[in-house]
Structure 1
Amino acid sequence: MWVITVHSKSNVKLFEYDTEQEARGAFEKMAGYKILTEVVYFNDLCLVEA
């Protein structure tokens, strides 16, 4: 999961995306102070040993 956090003078907004490509596309279009973060959960399949 990818999250964009946008800060403005009076509030903070969070936007969630499933793919990096989708998030980066939206990130470029947003104005203001913004942070792009990848969220990795401990139980994600990529981290679980077979």
Structure 2
Amino acid sequence: MWIITIHSKKGIKMFEFCTEKEARERFEVMEGCKILSEVIYFNDKQLIET
């Protein structure tokens, strides 16, 4: 999961995306002080299996 956090005069807003591509596309057009983060869950089976 990918999260964009935007800090602006109106406050803090967070937007959630399923894919990195989708998040990066939106990140480019959003205004304000923004942070793009990937959320990794400890129990995510995709990350545990090697």
Using structure 2 for the length normalisation, give the TM-score.
Answer: 0.90
- Report the AA paired with residue 2 of structure 1: W
Q: How big is the shift at 1:47?
A: 2.7
Query: Which stretches of structure 1, 4 residues or longer, exceed 3 Å deviation after superposition?
Result: none
Match of 2:40 in 1: 40
Using structure 1 for the length normalisation, give the TM-score.
Answer: 0.90
Identity %, equivalent residues: 60
Q: How big is the shift at 1:9?
A: 1.7
Match of 1:9 in 2: 9
Match of 2:21 in 1: 21
Structure 1 range deviating more: 40-49 or 6-15: 40-49
Aligned residues: 50
Secondary structure of 1:37's counterpart equals: strand
> Which blocks of at least 5 consecutive residues in structure 1 are unaligned?
none
CA RMSD, 1 decimal: 1.4
- Report the AA paired with residue 47 of structure 2: L
